[in-house]
């Protein structure tokens, strides 16, 4: 390996050691004091851990350029990033609430594996790029935790995630081509779910959601999830969406 690679590996190792030491310090303070609230310190450590994880992924990916795509597919699977196609919409599920806007965090922690998962999906299920689309975002908070965790929509970073979806599925990402709606719900775990659909499908989506909000994401009220090549609604003008790169 090159000197720069080895230097990056040593720096990542040092970052992990520093992170571990700071976590031990927080644990010791918490054990010694009944009044100490570690929330702020732990949030900072989470952000640092995500940065360190992204650095470690990049080191792992660089060991064999021919398997980068497969590597990030495995990361997406480990994170439980799920993509399912239904007759009238596409569902993209991420296992976390998106980060706060303007805060320091590793954007590629979820974005890089999400993008690879979408690229892999499109290779297996080619489809035309959409000229007009609607994206509905559900911010699902763990209902067993404090409702004070729920944030305003303008305090949630959605742009980078929408940029990835738009780049892969739309022929044009102008405001005239895409509409974005957001909603919040309580569930069994933290998650963010994107629903991609044509604008005329939105009323049906809203009706299904209103009928049974708790189980709607898993219900297949419009039929079983499409098998590759079975979607009859892929007739929007554009070029087949079969990305070549990672």
**Same structural domain, 59 and 164:** no
How much is the average pLDDT of 34-38?
Answer: 89
The domain tally of the chain equals 2
Q: What pLDDT digit, counting tens, does each position of 219-240 carry? A: 444 444 444 444 434 333 333 4
**Same structural domain, 12 and 102:** no
Domain limits for position 43: 1-63
pLDDT bracket for residue 57 (50, 70, 90):
confident
Q: Among 63, 86, 113, where does a domain finish?
A: 63
**Closest of 48, 31, 49, 30 to residue 39, by C-alpha:** 30
Whether the CB-CB separation of 100 and 43 falls below 8 Å is answered with no
**Same structural domain, 31 and 152:** no
Whether the CB-CB separation of 70 and 30 falls below 8 Å is answered with no
The reported pLDDT for the residue numbered 212 is 60
Tell me which of 121-135, 185-199, 211-225 is least confident.
211-225
**Same structural domain, 58 and 93:** no
Please check the confidence at residue 215 and state whether its pLDDT lies above 70.
Answer: no
The reported pLDDT for the residue numbered 211 is 74
Phi/psi region, residue 181 (left: phi>0; alpha: psi -120 to 50; beta: rest), is beta
- Please give the model's pTM, rounded to 2 decimal places: 0.74
C-alpha 174/C-alpha 171 separation (Å) is: 9
Place of tokens 């080191």: 59
Q: Among 20, 40, 63, where does a domain finish?
A: 63
**Same structural domain, 136 and 246:** yes
**Same structural domain, 127 and 171:** yes
């Amino acid at each position: 390996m090159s000197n720069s690679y080895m230097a990056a590996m040593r720096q990542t190792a040092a970052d992990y050691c520093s992170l571990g030491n700071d976590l031990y310090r927080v644990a010791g303070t918490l054990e010694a004091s009944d009044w100490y609230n570690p929330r702020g310190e732990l949030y900072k450590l989470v952000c640092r851990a995500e940065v360190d994880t992204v650095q470690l992924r990049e080191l792992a990916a660089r060991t064999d350029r021919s398997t980068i795509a497969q590597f990030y597919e495995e990361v997406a699977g480990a994170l439980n990033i799920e993509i399912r196609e239904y007759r009238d919409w596409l569902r993209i599920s991420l296992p976390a609430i998106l980060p706060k806007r303007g805060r320091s965090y590793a954007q590629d922690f979820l974005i890089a594996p999400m993008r690879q998962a979408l690229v892999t999906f499109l290779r297996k299920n080619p489809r035309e790029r959409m000229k007009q689309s609607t994206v509905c975002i559900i911010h699902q908070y763990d209902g067993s935790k404090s409702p004070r965790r729920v944030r305003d929509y303008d305090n949630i970073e959605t742009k980078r995630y929408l940029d990835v979806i738009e780049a892969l599925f739309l022929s044009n990402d102008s405001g005239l081509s895409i509409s974005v709606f957001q909603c919040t719900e309580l569930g069994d775990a933290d998650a963010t779910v994107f629903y991609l659909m044509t604008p005329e499908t939105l009323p049906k989506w809203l009706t299904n959601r209103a009928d049974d909000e708790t189980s709607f994401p898993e219900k297949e009220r419009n039929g079983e999830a499409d098998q590759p090549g079975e979607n009859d609604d892929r007739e929007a003008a554009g070029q087949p969406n079969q990305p070549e790169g990672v």
